[in-house]
Amino acid sequence: MIVTLVVACEIGFWVLLAAGLSLRYLARMPRTGVAALLLEPVLELVLLIATAIDLRNGATADWKHGLAAVYIGFSVALGHSTIKWVDQRFAHRFAGGPPPVKPPKYGMARTVHEWRTAGKWILASAIAIGLLQCAAWYVGGSGDISSLREWQTRMLWVAGINLAIALSYTLWPKQPKKDGAP
């Protein structure tokens, strides 16, 4: 049931996003479009409540509950930037908006961009780790929480990889090619 709900939430995210942007730009109903976009956090709340109820009803904490926590963490931390990214492209394609802003390619501006991106992924990982820890406490000492611990380890890897990427741009900033260089 939890996996189905995670999939339904992901589909719901994109349906609400498409509906909100269509109402905003195509139907010229910006307030209604924003209202549709504001319904998206409700999906994560439903998933969180369903996961807690499933665990309370005696379900063994396994990979499905970990997946739900990770999905919620990523939705909370990356949802807004995903909506903004899609909004820019939708406005450009369907409403005559300006071309989407591209990330900087070189120097300090690129380094700052990479740190912001890493920050979002680290925040997503931290939220997921926190939710996984809450689930472990909720299950208590009587249940098997090894699957939740494995998810926490994976999220530490995600955070570490993003930290390493941002650090690499700090230590070795990408520079434009010099004229005549291959």
Domain boundaries, the chain: 2-171
Can you tell me the distance from the alpha carbon of 50 to that of 91, in angstroms, rounded to the nearest whole number? 35
Residue 181, pLDDT score: 56
Say which range, 161-165, 168-172, 173-177, has the weakest mean pLDDT: 173-177
Q: What is the pLDDT of residues 172-182, one digit of tens each?
A: 998 888 875 55
**Is the predicted pLDDT of residue 76 greater than 60, yes or no?**
yes
SS3 track for 42-89: HHHHHHHHHHHHHHHCCCCCCHHHHHHHHHHHHHHHHHHHHHHHHHHH
Q: Is 97 helix (H, G, I), strand (E, B) or coil?
A: coil
Identify the CA nearest to 76 among candidates 33, 15, 13. 13
Q: What is the pLDDT of residues 88-127, one digit of tens each?
A: 999 999 999 999 999 999 999 999 999 999 999 999 999 9
